[in-house]
Amino acid sequence: MSIIRVTVIDREGNPHELEAPTDMNMNVMELCKSAELPVEGTCGGMAMCASCHCYVESTHADSLPEKSDNEEDMLDEAFHVKDESRLGCQIQLADSLEGMVIRLAPVG
Amino acid sequence: METTFAAKLIMIQTDILIIGAGPCGLFTVFEAGLLKLKCHLIDALPQAGGQCAEIYPKKPIFDIPAYPEILAGDLVDQLMAQAAPFKPGFTLGERAETIIKDEEGQFVVTTNRGTVHRAPIIAIAGGLGCFEPRKPPVERLEDYEDHGVEYIIKDPEFYRGKKVVISGGGDSALDWTNFLADGVASEVTLVHRREGFRGHPDSVQKVLDLAAEGKIRLLTNGEVVGVAGEEHLQAITVKHKTEGEITVETDHWVPLFGLSPKLGPIADWNLNISKNAIEVDTFDYSTSVDGIYAIGDINTYPGKLKLILCGFHEATLMVQSAFKRIYPDKNLVLKYTTVNGVNGF
């Protein structure tokens, strides 16, 4: 499979069903940007700005790779952080993420 | 303070005033220098290099032509060396605040610290904007700014004999906790979201030791969610993961959550702006205001790519247009550096 479906819930609570290619070396931040969702991706995906902070709400949260130190450090500087918090730029789109649901964290 | 006072008395005059000393601003100095135009740069950060120096100096960049790999910090050093023959001036650690056009049609730009600059041409190379402290989303926080809530510790003596709460898990939070706990503040509390700290291992150990000795109060797995007090801050509320809400009486709260970029005062300069970026004409990267250009990550146009190498191209075309604006009667011939070398000032 090279296309998966990912649901992104925006900050107003509206779900967006997106089709995501898994063979383009893309991450969740880039997927959101390409769908013109309000994700800045300020640092370009280096886990250095937290503008792509999101919550993984589906059970995929358990099977994602562990947070790197960089990601954990950046989440230290973010706000509204919860257990299911991740940086979208650190989640690579893969076939195993079919059906994943993520919610954009509040800005600020 | 003396430098600030002195700066107020001097007006810095230049040909191209560059707002932002990142890679794009620095390369502008070189390209302008080839045309015998002098540059001065203003940057809110205390050092040149923009994001490359502030956020990721040790990260390799792979898409700079002719460099298969170069560290961002090294790229800045090389750009500084390339610009050096043209003796750029710098106003660092100050934010370009206001702009007016004087009676001779030159722009006068004043910083937040009162330094005045004057130039016929402005090149905004502001990248993502100015880096400002990240402010936690706590209700009524702004009511206590400068009344007990500070985002930067400028002078530790300010906290002598006071109760201080610091938030954050990085080096600055750890270092200031250690410093203030060493006989400066009367009480120090450090609040951090999780158990682990990402700072220097020595600083982390020192904080843990101080906590074990009862010299500081360490509240991990917590975050500050409330501020209270009459006019001045008197207490903060910490939401703890397991213990619920804890109130800590304090004179000061210093949240240290790093810096994030904001477009800043440039947003009020009457330029056409779309999605936090300045609209430009790709002919010469001019903005909607005559004499003001915008290059690099801060501009937008159809097909825009936020890449350093695109910023270099934009800077090169922009200075040609700037030259013609300053010297409308002079002919400009493109000269190759391989023929003429680089003749500095």
Q: What is the DSSP string of B266-292?
A: GGGS---EETTEEE-BTTTTB-SSTTE
Q: Residue B170: its chain A contacts at CB < 8 A?
A: 73, 76-77
Say yes or no: B186 and B220 in one domain.
yes
Say yes or no: B210 and B98 in one domain.
no
Q: What is the pLDDT of residue A1?
A: 59
Say yes or no: B160 and B215 in one domain.
yes
Task: Read off the pLDDT of each residue in B154-176 and give the average, rounded to a whole number.
Answer: 95
* Backbone CA torsion sign across A62, A68, A69, A72: negative
- Whether residue B345 is contained in a domain is answered as no
Tell me, what CATH number does B318's domain have? 3.50.50.60
- Whether residue B190 is contained in a domain is answered as yes
Task: Read off the pLDDT of each residue in A48-57 and give the average, rounded to a whole number.
Answer: 94
- Whether residue B53 is contained in a domain is answered as yes
pLDDT above 60 (res B6)? no
Out of B229, B257, B285, pick the residue that ends a domain. B257
Position B2 confidence tier, pLDDT thresholds 50, 70, 90: very low
**Residue B324 at interface with chain A, using a CB cutoff of 8 Å:** no
pTM of the model: 0.81
pLDDT tens, position by position, B41-95: 999 999 999 989 988 898 899 999 999 999 999 999 999 999 999 999 999 999 9
Residue B85 near residue B345 (C-beta atoms within 8 A): yes
Domain limits for position B84: 2-132+260-340
Say yes or no: B145 and B174 in one domain.
yes
Which of A11, A37, A76, A83 is the best substitution to test chain B (most B C-beta atoms within 10 A)? Answer: A76
Say yes or no: B152 and B102 in one domain.
no
CB contact under 8 A, A42 and B196: no
- Which residues of A make CB contacts under 8 Å with B? 42-44, 46, 48-49, 69, 72-73, 75-81, 106, 108
Say yes or no: B123 and B21 in one domain.
yes
Q: Calculate what percentage of chain B has a pLDDT beyond 70.
A: 97
CB contact under 8 A, B137 and A80: yes
Out of B217, B233, B257, pick the residue that ends a domain. B257
d(CA B206, CA B82): 43
Say yes or no: B119 and B11 in one domain.
yes
**Residue B252 at interface with chain A, using a CB cutoff of 8 Å:** no
Instruction: Report the gap between the CA of A89 and the closest CA in chain B (Å).
Output: 16
Question: Residue A51's closest chain B neighbor by CA?
Answer: B260
Instruction: Report the gap between the CA of B87 and the closest CA in chain A (Å).
Output: 31
Higher pLDDT, A62 or B85: B85
Partner residue facing B198 (CB), from A43, A73, A78? A73
Position B145 confidence tier, pLDDT thresholds 50, 70, 90: very high
d(CA A34, CA B21): 30
Say yes or no: B240 and B274 in one domain.
no
d(CA B240, CA B218): 12
Out of B235, B257, B279, pick the residue that ends a domain. B257
Instruction: Provide the number of CB pairs (under 8 Å) joining chain A to chain B.
Output: 46
Domain locations in chain A as residue ranges: 3-104
Say yes or no: B99 and B154 in one domain.
no
> What's the CATH superfamily of A3-104?
Beta-grasp domain (3.10.20.30)
Q: What is the pLDDT of residue B1?
A: 41
Say yes or no: B220 and B283 in one domain.
no
CB contact under 8 A, A108 and B169: no
Q: Residue B260: its chain A contacts at CB < 8 A?
A: 42, 49
Cβ contacts of B40 within 8 Å, gap of 6 or more: B12, B14, B16, B17, B18, B88, B89, B90, B91, B117, B119
Say yes or no: B301 and B184 in one domain.
no
Say yes or no: B193 and B249 in one domain.
yes
- Whether residue B202 is contained in a domain is answered as yes
Q: Give how many domains chain B has, as a whole number.
A: 2
